[in-house]
Amino acid sequence: MIPYFVWTPIKPEDASTTSLELWIIELALEYQRKLKPIVLEYLHRNVFLETYNLNKGMKTIPYKELINVIENNLRMLVGTDVTHEMQAMVYWQGGLRDDKFLDYSDVNRWFETMNHLIWYINFMSPRYLETNVFYSGVNPDHQVIGIG
């Protein structure tokens, strides 16, 4: 069983007093790097992640460029393995061109998406071993078609 990533979601009532700090960005990028070999091993997809140089002299967060790295990496990691709990990734244009401003719910979404992917991997593998079949659909007689 792959362990879940540790993230305490930001509560709505704490959103106004919580700032997006570099350690949160660094943690999201670190967790994405840890997910890459897991996705390769269990989902057989080699994912190419974008990187961003978070040098120690950085004092502000370069909004759209860095945030889009995280969003694009999530999109690559998830691929087509979307569970119904996952929310859609966002492409940030910056400034007033975005539909909404980045807020605590987006940061929570990053970490929730990564943990949902781990959940998917954790529960996909045992089900296959138990049944030894992946089902691909239903034939005209409404019988499940399986690949044994």
Q: pLDDT tens, 108-126?
A: 999 999 999 999 888 875 5
Q: pLDDT: is 56 or 64 the higher one?
A: 64
6 domain-assigned: no
Residue whose structure tokens are 């890459």: 36
61 domain-assigned: yes
2 domain-assigned: no
C-alpha of 43 from chain center: 14
What pLDDT does residue 146 have? 47
7 domain-assigned: no
Task: Name the residue among 52, 84, 57 with its Cα closest to residue 70.
Answer: 52
- Domain that includes residue 41, residue range: 12-147
123 domain-assigned: yes
pLDDT grade, residue 147 (50/70/90)? very low
- The total domain count for the chain is 1
3 domain-assigned: no
Task: Name the residue among 28, 22, 7 with its Cα closest to residue 89.
Answer: 28
pLDDT grade, residue 148 (50/70/90)? very low
What pLDDT does residue 127 have? 54
Single pTM value for the model: 0.75
What pLDDT does residue 28 have? 94
Instruction: Give SS3 for 74.
Output: helix
